[in-house]
Amino acid sequence: MRLGVPARTTAIWLILILASFLTWWLGTNDSRDQLSDRVMIAAVIVIAFLKAYLVGMEFMEVRGAPTVLRALLTGWVGLFAVAVTTLYLA
């Protein structure tokens, strides 16, 4: 039986899995250099928010939702990505 899963959804699912491996590697990798460690952890935070954005857009189907909902998701992810990254680096 062919399940009606769009190729786009499958592609985003694969991107999310690859992003998970990348953040795991970035989060557990010790470069013995404090500055690059901080940059890598900041990247972990940014990638996590990008993943949340993709889940919201694709799997929670906000992509096809009214503009106000799309704006709310984009604004929420953007605001907290900037806030958490700034608080971490500060």
Partner 1 sequence: MSTGHTPTANVFFTMYYVLTGIHLLHVLIGAGLLAIWSISLKGRRSFTASQRLTEGIAVYWHMVDLLWLLIFPLVYLVCAA
61 binds partner 1 (CB under 8 A): yes
**How would you class 56 by CB atoms within 10 Å of its CB: exposed for 0-12, middle for 13-18, buried for 19 or more?**
buried
Q: Is 51 in the site for partner 1 (CB under 8 A)?
A: yes
Residue from the set 28, 35, 67, 90 that interacts with partner 1 by CB under 8 A = 28
At how many degrees (to 10) do helices 7-28 and 34-54 cross?
160
Residue for token digits 């399940």?
3
For residue 24, the minimal CB distance to partner 1 (Å) is: 7
Residues in contact with partner 1, counted by CB under 8 A, come to a total of 22
Nearest to 38 by CA among 46, 83, 22: 46
Footprint on this chain of partner 1 (rule: CB under 8 A): 23-24, 26-28, 37, 40-41, 44-45, 47-49, 51-52, 55-56, 59-61, 84, 88
